[in-house]
Each structure stands twice: as structure tokens, then as C-alpha cells.
Amino acid sequence: MEETNENANDALSYHYKETVRLANVCDSYAKGAFADFKMLAAIGAILTWKPFYEAVYPKNTGDTNILFLGFVAILIMLAIVGIMNLQKLLIINFYLEQLQYFETEIRSLLGCQNSPTFRVAENWRTRASSKQIILGWIFYAFFYIAAITPTFILYSNNPICCEWYIYLTIALIVIGVHIGAVVIVHKKHQSNQNTLA
């Protein structure tokens, strides 16, 4: 009997340590995603590129291709950072799924399956994440508006030139790829929730 209790305590200790480790991994990824202000800086750069360009190249003396290329370069940076953050979210969701298994095991080892404790991953996945998804879409909407804004700037700068049209095409492709990535991440998250339920 004593040996059984010792084995249960060892299992509980191991499960608890692994739960702490997984929680720390999730926390570090989440901090990394929130600390990544490159996306916000790139949005600011998109919106301030024309005034900067006009300060460097006064009217009728500058190369108009630089305005276009600057917008495209900033947009590509935005896309890369946005996709990288979605990859972080996918990894966080994976670790939360693993964490939920360990929390279930801990409740089982404690003989408290119905306890409200050791349900951090479950509560995040079933309650809080839906609010986060809504906030995420609001943020993405601002990102998409900022990504398209240079089209109007390029058009007002030179409506005859086709640079505004090329930029709009690139921006719509970037937005489409980003929306596709968001759907993949959240669809995977939803299917994992259904599996765990």
C-alpha cells in the first residue's frame, strides 16, 4: 500500500513538473508574440513613408519608384512578421493541448476529476481564446486597412502610372495569404478543441 502511494506521489510530482514546464513554454511564446512590436512599427512606417519620402525627395526631383518600392518593402516586412506571429500562436496552441492532458492526469491522480483547479489550458481553450480571436480580427482589420492605404497615396501621387494597381495587387495577395494563415491556425485550434471535448 505504501509503495502504491509512493508511486502515485512520484507520478503526481512528475506530472506537476511537466505541467509547470509546458506552462512556462507557453508563457515565453506568448510574451514573445506580445513583445514583437515590429509589426506595429511596420504599420507606422507604411503610414509615414510618403512624408519621409517627400522630405528626402522634394516634388518633381525624386524617383517615384522609391515611393512604390518603399511601400512594397514595408508591406513584405509586415507580412513576414504577421505570419511569424501566427506560427507562434500555432505552437502555443500545441503546448496548451499537451498541457491540458497533463492537467487531466493530475486531477485524476488527486482523485478530483471535477475540481475547478488544474484547468488553465482547458479554460483558456474553451473560454478566453474565443475573446482573443475577436480581438485578433479587430487588430487584423487595422492591419489590412494600413496595408491597403498606400494604394490611395500612390494613386493620388500619380494616377496615370500603374504602380498603385501593382501595389494593390500585392497588398491583396498578402492580405489573402494572411487571412488563409489565420483560418488555418484557428481551424486547427477548433478541431483540437473538439477532439479534447
- Among 41-50, 102-111, 153-162, 182-191, which is the least confidently predicted range? 41-50
- CA 93, 96, 102: angle at the middle one, nearest 5? 155
pTM of structure: 0.72
At residue 19, the pLDDT reads 81
CA 76 – CA 147 distance, rounded (Å) = 10
> For 51-94, what is the HEC assignment?
HHHHHHCCCCCCCHHHHHHHHHHHHHHHHHHHHHHHHHHHHHHH
| Pairwise pLDDT comparison (146 vs 194), residue with the higher score | 146
| Pairwise pLDDT comparison (7 vs 1), residue with the higher score | 7
CA 168 – CA 126 distance, rounded (Å) = 38
CA 164 – CA 172 distance, rounded (Å) = 12
Q: DSSP label at 118?
A: S
At residue 178, the pLDDT reads 92
Q: DSSP label at 111?
A: T
- The tens digit of pLDDT for each residue in 24-78 reads 887 787 777 666 655 566 666 666 666 666 655 666 555 667 778 888 888 888 8
Estimate the crossing angle of helix 129-157 against helix 38-56, to 10 degrees.
10
Most confident of 29-38, 159-168, 173-182: 173-182
Using CA atoms of 66, 36, 80, 21 in order, give the dihedral in degrees to the nearest 10. Answer: 170
- The tens digit of pLDDT for each residue in 80-131 reads 888 888 888 888 888 888 888 888 888 888 888 888 888 888 887 777 677 7
